[in-house]
Amino acid sequence: MKNNSFKLTKFACYTAYFTMSSIFSLPPLLFATLQDMYGISYTLLGTLVLTNFCTQLTIDLIFTVFTKYFNVKKVVRIMPLITSAGMLIYAVVPRFMPQYAYAGLLIGTILFSVSAGLSEVLLSPVIAAIPSDNPQKDMSMLHSLYAFGVFTVVVISTLFLRFFGSANWFYLTLFWTALPIIAAIMFMLSPMPEMDVTSNNEGTKGTKRRTLAMALCVGCIFFGSCAENAMSNWISSFMENALQIDKTIGDILGMAMFAILLGTARISYAKFGKNIIRTLTVGMACAACCYLIAGLSTNVIFAFIACILTGLFTAMLWPGTLIMMEENVPGVGVAAYAFMAAGGDFGASLAPQLLGIVVDNVAVSNVAARISTQTNLSPEQIGLKAGMLVTAIFPIIGFALLIYIAKYFKKSRTSDGK
């Protein structure tokens, strides 16, 4: 089938990935509203975040082992409808049955997290299976749309809540609920490419080499996801509490600009990028520098810029690792993408949680109290900066891993050429 036959399919994937950003971006923007209106505690709100990532990780692991038992084409087509169903329950139950508000939020979170997990597992292999003159461009474009989706959701939602009031959050959620239906209709009307749901066998030697190559790629996407998501989850709080920047300014100039740089870098690689391993290596190194600057600098402007630039340098760490896998690991199928998504989701849940633990423990420590008396920083600010410094370990290890990966794949290609 010609490339043109899959234009609508590709656009449907892009639309689905764009709308998926509402799953991650909208709930945190509503947490303060939900707490005020329904008396939901911080612990229960945190449980919703944990439920989101754990559900996605579960879906990743299920597809890693049981891919061949699913009709992938049908799952892709109904996936956006699951998103809409989850968002609808998330909005409707608290609105009309406030006594069951948290139950509705929890059920809705589980449902749209299932869809988010499916999106991560299936949309990348669908794009990879579509005939293309430049598959790297298509993959980078897919992941860039998530970043631009985050920017869109943050800006529109922030402006809506500011002008129409947080009490009308229900209508805002209904708006984002309708968008995935568009993607579902597009999938229903478009052909689906053939996808390998298993893996090719290459004998014992080939299998061992392929297993090690996959393990290296999973490690890379894990550390890359840690580097990206620790900052994306904490940038708003860090700017407001550690840098003392107004929340609205911090969200728009911080969180939104982070997402813009994330998307711009992915678009740029789609158009100009070539050497993906070098791109990943430079990205890891620069991301580590950004975390160190954010944690060590006493200059607000330098720390502010470092936080934002992390979006630029971590942009390719997730999609770029998928590209690296496609280029260097033979016979990858849907199960391989599920395995990679599991590594990425594990990093996305672990790193922000670790940063939070560091902040809480350092802020109440005697060391922070002593430093606070010697500086203009509060114990909370010291805790947040310590969290940034500890989180820098992820891109540092990722950088070292990529140095090894570059040598390993170069050696593998030389061996294959003999």
Q: 253-262: per-residue pLDDT in tens?
A: 787 888 889 9
- Assess if residue 2 is contained within a domain: no
| Last residue in a domain, options 132, 163, 197 | 197
pLDDT, one tens digit per residue, over 161-217 is 888 988 899 999 999 998 899 999 999 998 888 876 655 544 445 677 888 999 999
Are 238 and 181 part of one and the same domain?
no
The whole domain housing 22 covers 9-197
The set of residues, in sequence order, having a beta carbon less than 8 Å from that of 208 and lying 6+ positions away, is none
Are 209 and 183 part of one and the same domain?
no
Are 298 and 385 part of one and the same domain?
yes
- Assess if residue 408 is contained within a domain: yes
pTM, 2 dp: 0.80
Q: What is residue 206's predicted lDDT score, i.e. its pLDDT?
A: 61
Are 179 and 273 part of one and the same domain?
no
Are 264 and 144 part of one and the same domain?
no
Are 349 and 319 part of one and the same domain?
yes
Q: What is residue 204's predicted lDDT score, i.e. its pLDDT?
A: 46
User: Which CATH number goes with the domain that contains 125?
Assistant: 1.20.1250.20
Are 245 and 179 part of one and the same domain?
no
- Assess if residue 330 is contained within a domain: yes
- CB neighbours of residue 297 within 10 Å: 17
Give the Cα-Cα-Cα angle 223, 350, 338 (nearest 5 degrees).
Answer: 65
| Nearest-angstrom CA–CA distance, 236 and 252 | 9
Q: Nearest CA to 236 among 224, 225, 247, 221?
A: 247
Are 260 and 294 part of one and the same domain?
yes
Q: How many domains, in total, are found in the chain?
A: 2
Q: Which of 36-50, 224-238, 325-339 has the highest mean pLDDT?
A: 224-238
Q: What is residue 418's predicted lDDT score, i.e. its pLDDT?
A: 43
| Nearest-angstrom CA–CA distance, 338 and 344 | 10
pLDDT at 45 over 70: yes
Are 296 and 316 part of one and the same domain?
yes
How would DSSP label each residue in 290-352? HHHHHHH---HHHHHHHHHHHHHHHTTTTHHHHHHHHHHSTT--HHHHHHHHHHHHHHHHHHH
Span 220-245, mean pLDDT?
Answer: 88
**pLDDT confidence band for 301 (50 / 70 / 90):** very high
Are 27 and 80 part of one and the same domain?
yes
Are 354 and 323 part of one and the same domain?
yes
Span 8-37, mean pLDDT?
Answer: 85
